[in-house]
Amino acid sequence: MLHATHARGDELDLLADAGARACVCLSTQANLCDGFLAVERVCTRLIGVCIGSDSNVRIDPLEELRELEGIARRQSGRRNVLSTDTLLCYGADEGAGSLGLEKWDDAVVDLSHPSLRGVDDVFEGLIAGCGADVFVSDA
C-alpha cells in the first residue's frame, strides 16, 4: 500500500493479515499537506514499513526516516517511538523486501563527512542529522 495516510483500522488489519508493507513517502505527504501515517497503529499491527519518495521537491532517505520518527513523536507526545535499529530496518531491509530482494548492497558512508564529526555512534548520527550526501556513490 502506498502512503497509508488515510487507511482505516480495518484496512490496516487487511494489510497485516496479508503480510503486506506500507511504502510511506513522508516528505511528499508533508509537501502536499495530505495527512500523516498513523505510525503506532501501523507498527502495533506489525505491518512492514518501507520508505520511498514520489516527490520532485527533495529525495533523501535519511530525511524520510527522520520524518517518520518525527511524526510518531508528534502523534504520541513522546520521544524515541521508533528505535534507530527499527528506522534503519525500514530504510533498508523492508525496502528490499518490498521489491522481492533479500537485501540491498551495503551502503558506504563517508565517515569523514562534516555531519558525522564528533559522532560516537554512526547509525545514530545518520538518523539524527545526516543527509543523503553522506553516502559515497562510487564505492
113 catalytically annotated: no
* Cell output for 55: 516527490
DSSP string, the chain: -B--TT--HHHHHHHHHHT-EEEE-HHHHHHHT-----HHHHHHTT-EEEE----SS---HHHHHHHHHHHHHHHHTSS-SS-HHHHHHHHTHHHHHHTT-S-PPPP-B-TTSGGGTT-S-HHHHHHHH--GGGB-TT-
Of 17, 34, 54, 121, which one is the catalytic site residue?
Answer: 54
Adjacent-strand bridge partners of 49: 22
6 catalytically annotated: no
Rounded-to-integer distance, Cα 99 and Cα 94, Å? 9
Catalytic residues: 3, 54
